[in-house]
Every structure is written in structure tokens, then in C-alpha cells.
């Protein structure tokens, strides 16, 4: 939930006066959206993925403490900082909110300098945390996500597909005869080739939710949410062609090329299913692609 680099803030309040005051203070520096206390607010938060939530302690439709507790139990929302809004919270209420996971309080009437400072502190902190996380989740060679990032994202996409009853697809890709390539041209050239493949993968993903990852060695994966088999095959074929027709030059100017084999698995998951079965099925089709001559895509017809 970002707009032109601005941090996204979701204000959950039933009071129009709160919306007006906070908009005056924050809307010039941040992207503000508003929600009300209703049974759908969790779904709203999951869809919008704000960087920060300002949650009114007194909502008409739901219990704010219960909502805060639920947010901290859900993987996708657990790490979103929540600042509580209040006008007359008791010490006990403040202690309870902080114990449940709130990071701070803002007290009405709102003072512009205090609101700005406390919001900025939390947003700076979350950006710092994300930078640290990114450094641990990006493959240093190809500059695309690594296996750790892939494992985290597939769990998120699986749960999202379960909620929306939508397809999720995985492409498992492996470079054909990579050992021969390394033996012929040397490991530094093999690294150049892997960087090239990472770029081809990224160039063929056109939605923010799609992701490519290097799982290790010459093995890659592509995760496609809300995509059925036909859509996944289309992406896989574009990647296959891009790699097959691509040229990677050696430092001496010699042109080299490679091919890639792909297995595809697609499903509309259920809550009693396991995303590992999706990965294993794609791996099985990848193995079949290798057995059947390489440089091809295998999937369930």
C-alpha cells in the first residue's frame, strides 16, 4: 500500500472528526486510507497491506483489543505496527494494548508535531527492518529472491488462494547441462549465465505479486498467484524462449547459450491441503522434462 514512494497508513476509526484531523496532519507526507470498525476490517487490512495502522480504541462495531489480538495472530499482519488512538484510556487499557502488541498511543486532541513524530518513528523503524530482511532474502549473485524468501512467499500466496478460492501456480526450472557449461567455460562464466537467467525471469513477470527465486545452484522457481495452468504455461514458454535465444558473451567475446527445463503445477488450494504437494508435483514434471530431452515444459494436460 504505497503511492509514489509514500508510506501507506490505514486509519481505522468510526469518528469523522478523527479522519479529518489525521488527514490534515498526515496526508501531505503519507498515503492515507480509512476503514471502519466492522467484521470485514481484517479482510480490508489483508488486501491493502498498510505499512502502519492507526486503530481507534473505541469502535462501535467491534472490540479493538480483540482486533489487535487477531492482527498479531495472522502471519500477513503480525509485523504491521499498530498505534492506538484514544481520548481517555485508563492505565490498565494502555497496558493491555501494549501487551497485545500495540507499539504506541496517540491521545486526542491530536497535536500535529506529536502525531508526525510518532508516526515517523514507526515508519522509519519498519523500513529499517525491511532493509535488514531484504539483505537476508536476496540471492547475492542474481539479485533476485532466494529460497528463504520463496518459502515465505509461497505460504502467504497459498493462504491467499485458499481465502479467495483462486489458482496458484509454480514453475520449477533447472538449467540444462550446467555442469558441462561450467567445465567448458569456467565458474565465473557460469555465474554470468546465472545472472542472465535471473534477468530473463524478472523480465517476464509483469505483476507485483509474481516472483522469481533462485533456490540454489542452477535451480530456479517462479510463483504465480491467481494464475491457472494456461497462464503459467504462457509465462514459462516466454522464459524458455528468452533463455534459448539469449546470448551470454565470455570476457573474450565468445558467444555462449544454454537451455532450461521447466515443470509446472497449478491448483485451487484448500485449507486442508499442503503447498509442499504443489512444489513436489512441479518437481516431478521438471524431472520428466529432463528425461524427455530437456529444453521443454511439462505440466498436467
Instruction: Cite the active site residues.
Output: 218
Helix axes 112-135, 16-26, angle to 10 degrees: 70
Cβ-Cβ contacts under 8 Å for 234 (sequence gap 6 or more): none
Residue ranges of alpha helices (H) inside 101-136 are: 112-135
Residue 159 Cα distances to 57, 88, 136, angstroms? 29, 38, 23
Q: Per residue, what are the HEC states of 179-222?
A: HHHHHHHCHHHHHHHHHHHHHHHHHCCCCCCCEEEEEECCEEEE
Cβ-Cβ contacts under 8 Å for 68 (sequence gap 6 or more): 55, 82, 84, 97, 100, 101, 102
Characterize the bridge pairing of strands 260-267 and 168-175: antiparallel
Cβ-Cβ contacts under 8 Å for 102 (sequence gap 6 or more): 55, 68, 82, 83, 84
Please give the Cα distance from 223 to 1 (Å, whole number).
Answer: 21
Q: Kindly calculate the radius of gyration of the chain based on its CA atoms and give it in whole angstroms.
A: 24
Distance of CA 77 to the CA centre of its chain: 12
Are 54 and 85 a contacting pair, CB within 8 Å? yes
Amino acid at each position: 500500500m504505497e503511492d509514489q514512494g509514500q508510506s501507506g497508513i490505514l486509519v481505522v476509526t468510526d469518528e469523522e472528526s478523527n479522519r479529518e484531523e489525521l488527514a490534515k496532519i498526515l496526508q501531505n507526507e503519507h498515503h492515507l486510507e480509512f476503514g471502519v470498525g466492522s467484521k470485514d476490517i481484517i479482510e480490508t487490512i489483508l488486501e491493502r497491506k498498510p505499512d502502519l495502522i492507526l486503530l481507534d480504541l473505541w469502535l462501535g462495531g467491534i472490540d479493538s483489543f480483540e482486533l489487535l489480538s487477531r492482527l498479531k495472530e495472522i502471519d500477513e499482519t503480525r509485523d504491521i505496527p499498530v498505534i492506538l488512538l484514544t481520548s481517555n484510556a485508563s492505565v490498565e487499557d494502555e497496558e493491555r494494548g501494549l501487551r497485545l502488541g500495540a507499539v504506541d498511543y496517540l491521545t486526542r486532541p491530536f497535536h500535529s508535531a506529536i502525531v508526525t513524530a510518532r508516526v515517523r518513528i514507526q515508519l522509519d523503524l519498519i523500513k529499517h527492518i525491511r532493509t535488514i530482511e531484504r539483505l537476508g532474502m536476496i540471492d547475492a549473485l542474481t539479485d533476485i529472491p532466494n529460497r528463504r524468501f520463496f518459502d515465505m512467499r509461497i505460504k502467504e500466496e497459498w493462504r491467499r488462494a485458499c481465502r479467495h478460492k483462486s489458482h496458484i501456480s509454480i514453475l520449477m526450472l533447472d538449467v540444462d547441462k550446467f555442469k558441462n557449461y561450467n567445465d567448458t567455460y569456467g565458474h565465473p562464466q557460469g555465474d554470468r549465465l546465472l545472472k542472465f537467467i535471473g534477468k530473463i525471469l524478472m523480465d517476464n513477470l509483469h505483476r507485483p505479486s509474481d516472483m522469481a527465486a533462485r533456490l540454489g545452484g542452477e535451480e530456479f522457481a517462479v510463483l504465480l498467484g491467481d494464475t491457472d495452468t494456461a497462464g503459467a504455461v504462457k509465462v514459462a514458454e516466454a522464459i524458455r524462449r528468452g533463455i534459448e535465444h539469449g546470448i551470454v558473451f565470455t570476457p573474450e567475446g565468445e558467444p555462449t547459450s544454454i537451455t532450461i527445463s521447466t515443470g509446472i503445477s497449478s491448483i485451487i488450494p484448500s485449507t486442508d491441503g499442503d503447498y509442499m504437494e504443489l512444489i513436489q508435483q512441479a518437481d516431478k514434471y521438471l524431472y520428466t522434462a529432463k528425461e524427455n530431452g530437456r529444453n521443454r515444459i511439462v505440466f498436467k494436460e
